């Protein structure tokens, strides 16, 4: 959970992992991260969405500079000699960093003499997740940022899909097991039969295919706290096993009407926090959402989710949004808000759909409500929103929103049952 800067939801450039059956062997990697592909529902596909989710009060005059990172956010199976590049129009790059997520090692690169492009100097490592962060400024000195997380191709026949959560991790009780495939799976029953998911709690676990590229596994109710989940892939004598732990239970309920969030840990209320959710024009989704990513600081830009003014400028451009946690792939976050007045929290819904908590810019001491919630949350924790004016149902495949589907519907989506 570093200080990485990202734009808010780059319109579903999250591509699924390479998949299929290579040489008759099914295997899946658990490369780190929980940014899961969403291929349909609530604007998570190729459609812009109003779920941009940020307070208009923080809007700044946007930079004319436009950063493009190739390949885009969430791309899997990038070749080690693939032309990774960062370019900018109507401005110059001021800083570009590329780091290996697992080790933090920075990849050397070269900035062009005119400041409009950057490339890494050498080959990338196989089966490695990289984060690219770029900053640029226009002629008026107005800055902008961009970022992308990519994963390079694996060794031949090593794995053919991408699995989350990662091996050895500890996650919240609502974290589903997700397998993303690059190639469309036609014989879903055959592929699913090679994936076994079990829990030490004894809960029945069932897989559900959202489409030809994604299958998730979950029990009827949240995982039991303290249990261990084991994912085993076995075919023709070749086996791969991934295990992860379920931590304590934390269920946070946002009431958009009372503008309060109640945090319940292991059945006991430990905190009530005033919030500001989506305005009547941009209401927050109702439903069960799962924290999939955590960022101590991000850069939110309306253009990344299709929110622009008539002149094409982003509807908002807010730097250093603190303590941000992703709730949907279409752009819903719960995050700190340092630009709103204290009277907003608990009194008014003013955002573009995010859930905002009181914060100060650069708070590193955990004294503000947003910092407290960030420090006491883990990936896989559930955030439930109720009483919002939003009428559109939250799609279960928008992020890790699996729990918004009834158990009967869930089981019906499994060819193996």
Mapped onto helix, strand or coil, the DSSP state of residue 20 is coil
- Residues contacting 389, CB < 8 A, separation 6+: 256, 278, 280, 283
Peptide bond into 71 cis (omega under 30): yes
Tokens of 384: 């439930």
Tokens of 210: 């959202």
* Strand order across the beta sheet in which 195-199 lies: 170-171, 238-246, 228-235, 195-199
CA distance 162 to 180: 5
Which residues have a catalytic role annotated?
A: 335, 354
Torsion of CA 258, 259, 264, 269, to 10 degrees: -60
CA distance 291 to 283: 19
* Strand order across the beta sheet in which 66-70 lies: 66-70, 85-89, 117-120, 109-111
CA 397 to chain centre: 12
- Residues contacting 228, CB < 8 A, separation 6+: 199, 200, 243, 244, 245, 246
How long a stretch of residues is the chain? 417
CA distance 407 to 282: 30
Torsion of CA 409, 15, 97, 368, to 10 degrees: -20
Task: Residue 242: name the closest of 154, 169, 160 by CA.
Answer: 169
> Pairing state of beta strands 250-255 and 382-386?
parallel
DSSP-H helix ranges across 183-301: 188-193
> Pairing state of beta strands 66-70 and 85-89?
antiparallel
Contact 321, 336 (CB under 8 A): yes
């Amino acid at each position: 959970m570093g200080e990485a800067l990202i734009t808010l939801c780059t319109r579903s450039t999250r591509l699924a992992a390479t998949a299929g059956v290579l040489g008759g062997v099914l295997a899946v990697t658990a490369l780190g991260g929980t940014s899961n592909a969403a291929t349909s529902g609530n604007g998570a596909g190729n459609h812009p969405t109003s779920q941009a989710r940020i307070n208009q009060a923080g809007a700044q005059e946007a930079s004319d500079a436009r950063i493009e990172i190739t390949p885009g956010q969430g791309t899997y199976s990038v070749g080690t000699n693939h032309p990774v590049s960062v370019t900018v129009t109507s401005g110059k790059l001021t800083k570009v960093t590329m780091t290996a997520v697992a080790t933090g090692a920075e990849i050397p690169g070269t900035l062009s003499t005119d400041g409009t492009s950057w490339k890494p100097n050498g080959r990338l490592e196989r089966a490695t997740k990289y984060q690219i962060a770029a900053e640029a400024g226009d002629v008026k000195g107005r800055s902008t940022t961009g970022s992308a997380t990519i994963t390079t191709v694996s060794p031949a026949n090593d794995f053919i899909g991408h699995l989350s959560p990662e091996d050895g991790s500890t996650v919240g009780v609502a974290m589903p097991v997700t397998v993303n495939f690059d190639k469309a799976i036609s014989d879903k029953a055959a592929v699913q039969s090679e994936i076994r998911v079990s829990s030490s709690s004894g809960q029945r676990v069932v897989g559900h295919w959202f489409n030809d590229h994604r299958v998730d596994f979950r029990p009827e109710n949240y995982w039991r706290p303290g249990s261990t989940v084991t994912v085993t892939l076995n075919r023709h004598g070749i086996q791969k096993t991934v295990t992860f732990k379920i931590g304590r239970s934390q269920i946070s309920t946002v009431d958009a009407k009372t503008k309060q969030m109640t945090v319940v840990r292991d059945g006991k209320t430990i905190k009530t926090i005033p919030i500001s959710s989506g305005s009547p024009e941009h209401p927050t989704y109702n439903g069960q959402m799962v924290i999939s990513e955590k960022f101590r600081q991000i850069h939110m830009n309306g253009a990344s989710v299709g929110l622009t003014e008539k002149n094409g400028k982003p509807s908002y451009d807010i730097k250093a949004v603190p303590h941000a946690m992703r709730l949907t792939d279409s752009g819903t976050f719960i995050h700190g808000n340092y630009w709103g007045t204290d009277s907003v929290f608990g009194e008014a819904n003013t955002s573009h759909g995010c859930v905002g908590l009181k914060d100060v810019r650069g708070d590193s001491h955990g004294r503000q409500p947003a910092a407290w919630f960030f420090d006491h949350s883990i990936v896989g924790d559930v955030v439930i929103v109720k009483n919002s004016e939003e009428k559109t149902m939250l799609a279960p495949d928008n992020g890790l929103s699996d729990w918004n589907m009834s158990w009967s519907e869930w089981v019906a989506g499994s060819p193996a049952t």
